[in-house]
Structure 1
């Protein structure tokens, strides 16, 4: 019985479907992280330099994505906004949009804090040698902030990858959705859910372990230059 249950993964094209679903998960996560990083760094830099009147706008954006759960946000962007705004977005596009905005919101606060923790003398020295504000952020403040940002950045990236498991709610064919389909097709075997979800958990573990290993290498690299 156990051998028959284990063979479910390799039956037909189940393994290929699971790996293809994993590719979808990685693709959504990777694109969201890249877009969220670009937007988060820009917003965090602007936030650190913003005046008193503009800061509440950044705080409002952060709090919306920090307080509101991801599932309602997905439903809003997938079901409500497209219907009211007459915009047609695929489930994958909505997923990337929501996760990118969420990632950017969280990262912007981290970037802001890291930049503001740098000594004011660094900024003054940059201005004294003729650097513009943009050059000061690009060549002085942001590079010095990276070691402080990196651990939180990896944690956020890991959260994005794990949170993709809820995308079955808007019919994204990710690894969780494929796993659920295989379980439903083998409903007569009560051991199949444990096998499939255990296999999926292993895939998530491997992805996040590699991400954690990569982050440790980056941290060691930056320590050499401190």
Structure 2
């Protein structure tokens, strides 16, 4: 074991520190996903409305967030907005806010797509049955939209988890940052530490994302049968 670089994972509390960094990643992801769902649902409903001013504003928001790299958004939030306004806020909070804004834009577009994918005949049938607008959405439109929405939404959540690796650039001590610290501390004693540290980080990301990816594939296949 002493001749293998893998021992760096078991020296001191290195392994525990990586797991602690994974929790930071998961915490940012969970908060971002929760905020994205709530804000994204409202954004998607606005995008699907026939009120053109609301649609234009929401579309501008979507396109701005979509074309801007997430790393640039993080820099704007942490180094730009907070410094310009003189706000003392942690990188963790900035990261959560940025990922909510990004996730909500993407989620809103998914919600819009799911709503407009419902055939017009479904709306007409609901009206013919004498259902109110609330009943139409509750019993007909929303259940069908959810079947179309959930698989791509789960894929979005996996993208959010993976993209959280960028928060290391604004000083958040998450899994990747801790891995870099361990590698730096063992630069001379364990030259091949990067292989084992980054390999472990890859494996931990895989564990976090793979079940979600398989769930999306399963639901999509089941509902398309």
> Considering only aligned residues, what root-mean-square deviation do their CA atoms show, in Å?
2.1
Q: Mind listing any 5+ residue stretches in structure 1 that lack a counterpart? A: none
Question: CA separation of 1:134/1:35 partners in 2, compared to 1, >3 Å: closer, same or farther?
Answer: farther
Which aligned pairs between 1:142-157 and structure 2 lie closer than 5 A? Answer: 142-157=142-157
Greater alpha carbon shift after TM alignment, 188-197 vs 14-23: 188-197
Name 2:35's counterpart in structure 1: 35
CA contact (8 A) 1:154 1:215 kept: yes
Give CA-to-partner distance per residue, 1:168-201, whole Å, 9 cap, x none.
1111111101000000101113200111001100
Q: Could you give the per-residue CA deviations for residues 107-147 of structure 1, whole angstroms, max 9, x where no partner exists?
A: 11111111111022322344455655455434432221122
SS at match of 1:176: helix
Contact 1:21 1:178 survives alignment (8 Å) = yes
CA distance 1:2–1:105, change in 2 (3 Å)? farther
Aligned to 1:211: 212
Between the two proteins, the alignment pairs up a number of residues equal to 224
TM-score computed with the length of structure 1 as normaliser: 0.90
Given that 1:40 and 1:104 are in contact with CA atoms closer than 8 Å, whether structure 2 keeps it comes out as yes
SS at match of 2:52: coil
CA distance in structure 1 between the partners assigned to 2:88 and 2:75 by the alignment = 14
- Specify every segment of 5 or more residues in structure 2 that has no aligned partner in the other structure, as ranges: none
Q: Superposed, which structure 2 residues align to 1:32-181 within 5 Å?
A: 32-127=32-127, 131-181=131-181
| TM-score relative to the length of structure 2 | 0.90
In the aligned structure 2, how far is the partner of 1:214 from the partner of 1:20?
Answer: 26
* Contact 1:45-1:137 within 8 A present in 2 as well: no
**More displaced, 115-124 or 89-98?**
115-124
User: Which whole-Å CA distance do the structure 1 matches of 2:83 and 2:103 have between them?
Assistant: 25
Report the Cα distance in structure 2 between the residues aligned to 1:2 and 1:193, rounded to whole angstroms: 16
